[in-house]
Amino acid sequence: MLLNAEKLELNADYEPPKGTPSYRSEMGELFLPLEGMVDVTAEKARLTKEIQKAETEITKVKEKLNNPAFAQKVPVAVLQEHQRRLADWETKHAHLTASLQALG
């Protein structure tokens, strides 16, 4: 069985409900309906909290990187690490925001 799925339906005209996770593969687009399996309100609250955390971390890292005293005093490796962390947090923020928007 595929992912312990109870059934697999093939339907070229299927229109999934808003917020249904999907994955594009060589076989086509796969959907995982979550109706009745996920508390949408709780998931929205969790995502909102994670987005706020990501925004806080982005602000902290940007403040350090924009501080000339920090940028000039730290070794290049530390500066690069902070730049990498900023990129990671921005990517995470984008994914979380897209997930929240997909839930409606």
Tokens linked to 49: 């909290």
* Same structural domain, 24 and 56: no
Report the Cα 48 to chain-centroid distance in Å: 11
CATH label of the domain that carries residue 56: 1.10.287
Q: What is the pLDDT of residues 13-54, one digit of tens each?
A: 777 776 677 777 787 777 777 777 778 889 899 999 999 999
67 or 40: whose pLDDT is higher? 67
Check the CA dihedral 92-95-97-100 and report its sign. negative
**Domain ranges, residue 78:** 40-102
What is the number of domains present in the chain? 2
On whether the pTM is more than 0.75, the answer is no
Residue 1: predicted pLDDT: 41
Whether residue 50 is found in the same domain as residue 79: yes
* DSSP SS3 for 45: helix
